Amino acid sequence: MISPTPLMSLVAGVWGFKTLAVGVELGLFTRLAGGRTITVDQAAAEFGLAERPADLLLAASASLGLLERAGDGYRNSELAEQFLVEGHPYYFGGQIRYSDLRTYLPWHRIADALRTDRPLTWDPQSQQSMFDTSDPEMISQFWDAMYSTSSFTARALAGAYDFGAHRSLLDVGGGAAAFPIELCRHLPHLRATVLDLPHVLVRAEQRIAAAELSGRISTVAGDFLADPTLPGGHDVILLSMILHDWDESTNRALLAKCHAALPPDGAIVICELLLNDERTGPPEAALMGMNMLVETEGGRNYSGAEYAAWLAGAGFVDIRTVAFDAPGANGAVVARRP
């Protein structure tokens, strides 16, 4: 007999997210780094909580796979130790904090976005884009979120697509340089350039310097939408989590610029959460599409077949899709300029 239990799981989804978010906010997982165990009484004392909420937080975190039982206390699960301890290479807390503070409350008004086809996290009448803001805290949250999502996604991409034949990568809209940093760490021969707006490149240059890759990763200021051309001299162009921000005509125009900027046999890599061709899933891609309704004017998530059609229209050949598992993408559509 069919049961409404799956619907209850959807209802409880927000409870799980907020449990995760408050654990990150409190620094719970960072405090438990390195195998430390904490009891309910210790958690209550350290976080200034009564016994009941401390007990409920630890039990709920364990139920979500974030903590595990260890004697009379709890310790980080492997998942939390790898991705929720601040300072670890693939720390994911930036994405969690941004989602909690920036997009969670606007999602409560998702019906408004459906009815008006307008974003909820910024005002198109007074701002040029979601990035047009004088709030430095929001900007910091956004780029921390993008970096925490992108760094592990770049690692997964490096395992799925062979960059070994390439020597010079252009990361269009590369943000804080997570992809070039990760790829250059794994590929000693690779050099990279990050193209983005001037104020974004300040953060990118800080990340590049901290990674000690300033000699191999450069930056160039530009607007990939407004500029008539893209920088040349690269044999592979990366568009990672970029095209879902824009509508089809904008994306087709950008792909034409990529084609013009590449040499013969140069490659393009589109890294995204791809919908299946039937547009029925997977959930992470379809729900990211709904998030584009909240955060953008024309963005949506697309299928691999849609990207393939646009690439062919721009003159690319040998179009194929490689699949992988990562928080920011589930695959990449790759093609070659003949």
By annotation, the residues acting in catalysis are 244
Helical axes 51-63 vs 40-47, angle rounded to 10°: 110
Pairing of strands 168-172, 191-196: parallel
Cα 79 from Cα 65, distance rounded (Å): 8
**What amino acid is encoded at 60 in this protein?**
A
Report the DSSP beta bridge partners of residue 237. Answer: 170, 268
Distances (CA, A) of 114 to 26, 47, 105, 286, 302: 34, 40, 16, 15, 18
**Exposure string for 171-193, b = 16+ CB within 10 A, e = fewer:** bbbbbbbbbbbbbbbebeebbbb
Cα–Cα distance for residue pair 5/114, rounded to 1 Å: 27
What single-letter DSSP state applies at residue 112?
A: H
Residues in the chain: 338
Query: What gap in Å lies between CA 318 and CA 49, rounded to an integer?
Result: 59
Q: Is 269 helix (H, G, I), strand (E, B) or coil?
A: strand
- The residue assigned the tokens 């879902």 is 244
Strand 267-272 and strand 317-323: the pairing is unpaired
- Rounded distance between C-alpha atoms, residue 92 and residue 305, angstroms: 30
User: Residue 83's Cα: distance from chain center in Å?
Assistant: 14
For residues 292 and 302, give the distance between their C-alpha atoms in angstroms, rounded to a whole number. 11
